[in-house]
A and B are shown apart, each in its own frame.
Chain A
């Protein structure tokens, strides 16, 4: 009798401890914002024919900065609305989890920007148009998967889609039928645009309001 009661108490304690550690900001608006931004950026990149590896790197670095600032502003707005600290312990944990892979993506981008100028054209094209976006995709997936330990369960799955999708496209290479510029921007738009948008719409209809249990 007492052991049943103790087991139930322990179960409740563990459930509440997990819930306390989980990040509860609504992700749907953040995902939709990033999805729209990523898709629009890919279209702009293709239409403006941003085809040189260095300009490609700068263009998408600028887009990622806008995405980062926009996401932080959305998180801040939610925190203000709830009269809660922006830099809360769950936010700190998420940031710490995501930082190493995102930092690696930034460093790889900088290295590519510096090195690609002196590389032979064919090497530069491969670096800038295949290797670079897919590295970003895989590292971004790793970042999301790491954050998924402190976020709702679907976040890890989202991370895995990036990791497996990026690695799969590495194996396939650039198909002959698709121009390398279209392919590179297509990768970025597909992963950072359409996938985010799809996940955002899914979350919009399924995500529990943070005030709910």
Chain B
């Protein structure tokens, strides 16, 4: 098997929790912190850590606002990294195709 696609996988989004966050955000323009937390069954602390890592790597942008006097944190994928996530999925498909071709 050609190891190249496997070596190209981005470590930042390859981690299970961050990959789940990226998957959710890839299908929706934006999601609130509570929506992500509840859908993924993560703790507040765990989700905050993963979002911070993704934010520092430029994958996710975080917006903090107030709605009805309550804080609202929303996350979305940055446009540049949306492409990176698509590439990640393509790489996975390539790995599967290579295995089938063997």
A, B from the same assembly: yes
Cβ of B27 and Cβ of A210 under 8 Å apart?
no
CA distance A9 to B22 in the complex (A): 12
Asked if B28 is at the interface (CB within 8 A of a chain A CB), the reply is: yes
Cβ of A10 and Cβ of B28 under 8 Å apart?
no
CA distance A6 to B9 in the complex (A): 11
Cβ of A17 and Cβ of B34 under 8 Å apart?
no
Interface size on B, residues (CB 8 A): 34
Cβ of B34 and Cβ of A84 under 8 Å apart?
yes
CA distance A24 to B28 in the complex (A): 13
What per-residue 1/0 map shows which CB atoms of A1-23 lie under 8 Å from chain B? 01100110110111011111100
CA distance A85 to B27 in the complex (A): 17
CA distance A84 to B68 in the complex (A): 10
Q: Shortest distance in angstroms between B66's beta carbon and chain A's nearest beta carbon?
A: 10
Cβ of A2 and Cβ of B1 under 8 Å apart?
yes
User: Which residues of chain A are near B96, meaning CB under 8 Å?
Assistant: 3, 6-7, 10
Closest to B102 in A: A3
Q: Shortest distance in angstroms between A91's beta carbon and chain B's nearest beta carbon?
A: 11
CA distance A84 to B74 in the complex (A): 9
Q: When A and B form their complex, what is the total count of cross-chain residue pairs whose Cβ atoms lie within 8 Å?
A: 83
Asked if A154 is at the interface (CB within 8 A of a chain B CB), the reply is: no
Asked if A122 is at the interface (CB within 8 A of a chain B CB), the reply is: no
Interface of B is mostly: helix
Asked if B35 is at the interface (CB within 8 A of a chain A CB), the reply is: yes
Interface size on A, residues (CB 8 A): 27
Cβ of B1 and Cβ of A17 under 8 Å apart?
no
User: Which residues of chain B are near A207, meaning CB under 8 Å?
Assistant: none
With known contacts A2-B95, A13-B89, A84-B34, A89–B29 Cβ distance under 8 A? yes
Asked if B11 is at the interface (CB within 8 A of a chain A CB), the reply is: no
Cβ of B28 and Cβ of A12 under 8 Å apart?
no
Cβ of B95 and Cβ of A16 under 8 Å apart?
no
Binding site for B on A (CB under 8 A): 2-3, 6-7, 9-10, 12-14, 16-21, 24, 80, 82-85, 88-90, 210-211, 213
Ordered by A's residue number, 6 sampled pairs between the chains whose C-beta atoms are within 8 Å are A10-B93, A20-B27, A20-B39, A21-B28, A82-B34, A85-B72
Binding site for A on B (CB under 8 A): 1, 6, 19-20, 23-32, 34-35, 38-41, 67-68, 70-72, 74, 89, 92-93, 95-96, 98-100
